[in-house]
Amino acid sequence: MIDTHTHIYENEFAGDLLETLARAESAGVKKYVFPAIDSESYGRMISTQKLMPGKAFCCMGLHPTSVNEDWEREISFVREKLQERCWVAIGEIGLDGHWSREFMDRQMELFREQMIIACEMDLPVIIHVRDATDELYRVLDELKGMSKMPRGVFHAFSGSYGTYLRLKSYGDFYFGIGGVVTFKNARVAETVARMPLESLLLETDAPYLAPVPNRGKRNEPSYLLYISQKIADIQGTDVETVRRITTENAERLFEFDKFV
Ligand SMILES: [Zn+2]
């Protein structure tokens, strides 16, 4: 399996990263995608990736919750780092109206800019959206009008089947499914039941959003076991098929072989 969205470079893992990776290895997790957040977490991301050559792949981008008073300095940092080395994707980028809407116009502008950069660099995007669906549609409609749309993934997807169909209509997009699918009464479970496996990627978003039976605790990559099993149960298929197809999807989207 591939954990296509994990922040194991964060301080939550500083004390037991090697043990965490050993558990992931036994669970069958072979690769990791590290989405960037901002300049503050950059050093941790890069130094952790160096411990895991050929297994961990870093992205570059400005997270929407880090679009604040410092946005100009942060986006310059991203532009500069994009020139310095190879990245597996642009991300995570997007829109977040949950924590604050103060910088929503700026979030939309920087999301649009980073989507266009991804097209120009021929890189996939990792998109974070929370409580900003209307704004998301506005940016995507505008990009579609400019005929610029990168391939990518809507990470931590939790929408309805209608939302899935609309987002899918914008282009070559996958949908990242994580711990939320295991929660009691999760709406996304009904959506996943109707989505083809060919649209799905596995992700943990560790250390956040741990699946049942560890809900509320620190999440970690080995918990892809629970997430993939839940998807198999929902779809009435065997877990090996879920793991194989979602791994193929991740390989197709991120083209890891180009980077090792
Ligand atoms: Zn994330």
Alpha carbon of 91 to ligand 1 centroid (Å): 9
pLDDT at 260: 72
pTM of the model: 0.97
Alpha carbon of 98 to ligand 1 centroid (Å): 15
Overall number of domains in the chain = 1
| pLDDT tens column, 22-74 | 999 999 999 999 999 999 999 999 999 999 999 999 999 999 999 999 999 99
5 within 8 A of 203, measured Cβ to Cβ? yes
The rounded Cα 255 to chain-centroid distance in angstroms is 15
Alpha carbon of 111 to ligand 1 centroid (Å): 15
Alpha carbon of 117 to ligand 1 centroid (Å): 20
The mean of the pLDDT values for the chain is: 97
Alpha carbon of 215 to ligand 1 centroid (Å): 17
**Residues with a beta carbon under 5 angstroms from ion ligand 1:** 35
Q: Where are the alpha helices (DSSP H) in the chain?
A: 17-27, 39-50, 71-84, 104-121, 133-145, 161-168, 187-194, 224-235, 239-254
CATH number of the structural domain spanning residue 43: 3.20.20.140
| pLDDT tens column, 7-27 | 999 999 999 999 999 999 999
Mean pLDDT of 119-123: 97
Alpha carbon of 125 to ligand 1 centroid (Å): 12
Residue 259: pLDDT over 90: no
Alpha carbon of 120 to ligand 1 centroid (Å): 23
Alpha carbon of 148 to ligand 1 centroid (Å): 24
Alpha carbon of 78 to ligand 1 centroid (Å): 16
Which amino acid belongs to residue 128? H
Phi, psi of 48 (to 5 degrees): -70, -40
**Domain span including residue 23:** 2-259
